[in-house]
Amino acid sequence: MPSTSTEPLLIVNDLRTHIWTPRGNVKAVDGVSLHLNPGEAMGIVGESGSGKSVMARSIMGLNGRFAGVSGEVVYKKQNLLTLSKKKRREIWGKEIAMVFQDPARSLNPVVKIERQVAEGMRKHLGYSKSAARTRALELLAEVGIPDPESRLGNYPHEMSGGMRQRVMIAIALACEPSLLIADEPTTALDVTIQRQVLDLLRRVQRDRDMSMILISHDLGVVAGQTDRVGVMYAGRMLEVGSSAGVFDRPRHQYTSALLKATPSVDHPRHQPFPVIHGALPDPIHPPAGCRFAARCTAVSDACTSGPIAAVEFGGGHTAWCVHPVGGVHGDEHTTRDTGGAHVGR
């Protein structure tokens, strides 16, 4: 369960990441705000290209020289965006760790597993070589790698995809971070291994009372694995709330459409699944108003004429939608004008 502390561990305020290209500035993340409490697991879902991974990299400061980042990323009351690279390196791994979606590319192919797992402990925690090796063995065992003693001497290519992802998780956990960001951690893994990796992440997150952001384009991946969920689309947050609330009663038309398009075992045979027609808007010239409007079946002039107000349904459930699913009448709700970008705390 999340910590009882009322002070958020992480506050993202009006985060904007624009990537410079020959065609113009790609507005990959365009005014996202969220918060994460100590010991809480939050899922971020949305289609590929919605800005989820760019947002995660912006929090970590890993977007590269062609990206301009503005806003605030406040971790333990310090704005990470204003820190020098040297100061950020002191936080990476030790305070905030990240599990990337492709361990085959993230792990060094010419360095043995022992060194890759132990490196952070030696740098940040001052462990000796023997102490780091002992701890590396414990970590590999904790993440479910059989015969960890022999695996320390392996190179990444000598391990399966699932094993490599477990090594990535072990590296991320090595310095006991307060926040773990898992960016599409089950990409390219088969369904059985996906479940094992997700259960492992949730278990270590709960056992360590660690905060976690779990990013995925698959709603089923975060269902049951997170306390809250945010739905992103075209660089903006469209809905946020408890995972149970969002999955059981989605309010934004986009969230509802995503859930309807998700395959299920009880779907009638020979009946096609609903699809969301169209494509994401041009990220260089995004439309005014709701960015899902061009693909929405409930669209009206009010959806495209200007900023979309936040509609709050209680319990922290908020949607930026002119025509929320189920309507607004008969529900406990308030409306505030935030431009469709901000998640209240």
Question: Tens digit of pLDDT for each residue in 265-311?
Answer: 777 777 887 889 999 999 999 999 999 999 999 999 999 988 899 99
Calpha distance 114→305 (Å, rounded): 57
Contact 290, 304 (CB under 8 A): yes
> Average pLDDT, whole number, for the chain?
89
Q: Is residue 54 part of a domain?
A: no
Residue 253 class from Cβ within 10 Å (0-12 exposed, 13-18 middle, 19+ buried)? buried
Host domain of residue 299: 250-337
More confident residue, 14 or 330: 14
d(CA 59, CA 52): 11
Q: Specify if 302 maps to a domain.
A: yes
Q: Is the pLDDT of residue 106 over 80?
A: yes
* Residues pairing with 229 in the sheet: 43, 241
Render pLDDT for 146-168 as a digit per residue (tens, 0 to 9): 999 999 999 999 999 889 999 99
3-state secondary structure labels for all residues of 152-183: CCCCHHHCCHHHHHHHHHHHHHCCCCCEEEEE
Read off the DSSP letter of residue 275: -
Answer yes or no: is pLDDT of 169 > 70: yes
Residue 327 lies in a domain: yes
Q: Confirm whether 70 is domain-assigned.
A: no
Quote the CA–CA distance of 70 and 23 in Å, as a whole number: 21
Radius of gyration of the chain (CA): 21
Residue 283 lies in a domain: yes
Q: Examine residue 262 and state whether it is found in any structural domain, yes or no.
A: yes
Percent of the chain with pLDDT over 70: 93
Beta-bridge partner residues of 106? none
Which residues are CB-neighbours of 153 under 8 A, at least 6 positions away?
112, 113, 114
Residue 81 placed within a domain: no
Phi, psi of 79 (to 5 degrees): -80, 110
Domain assignment present for 63: no
Q: 115 pLDDT exceeds 50? A: yes
| % of the chain at pLDDT higher than 90 | 70
User: Quick check: 4 pLDDT over 80?
Assistant: no
pLDDT at 211 over 70: yes
**Both tokens assigned to 253:** 């038309």
Contact 121, 174 (CB under 8 A): yes
Indicate the pTM of the whole model.
0.89
Q: How many structural domains comprise the chain?
A: 1
DSSP category for residue 312: E
* DSSP three-state, residue 139: helix
Helix ranges (H only) for the chain are 52-60, 85-91, 103-106, 113-124, 129-142, 148-151, 161-173, 191-207, 219-222, 243-248, 253-260, 301-304
Joined together, the tokens standing for residue 77 give 């009351």
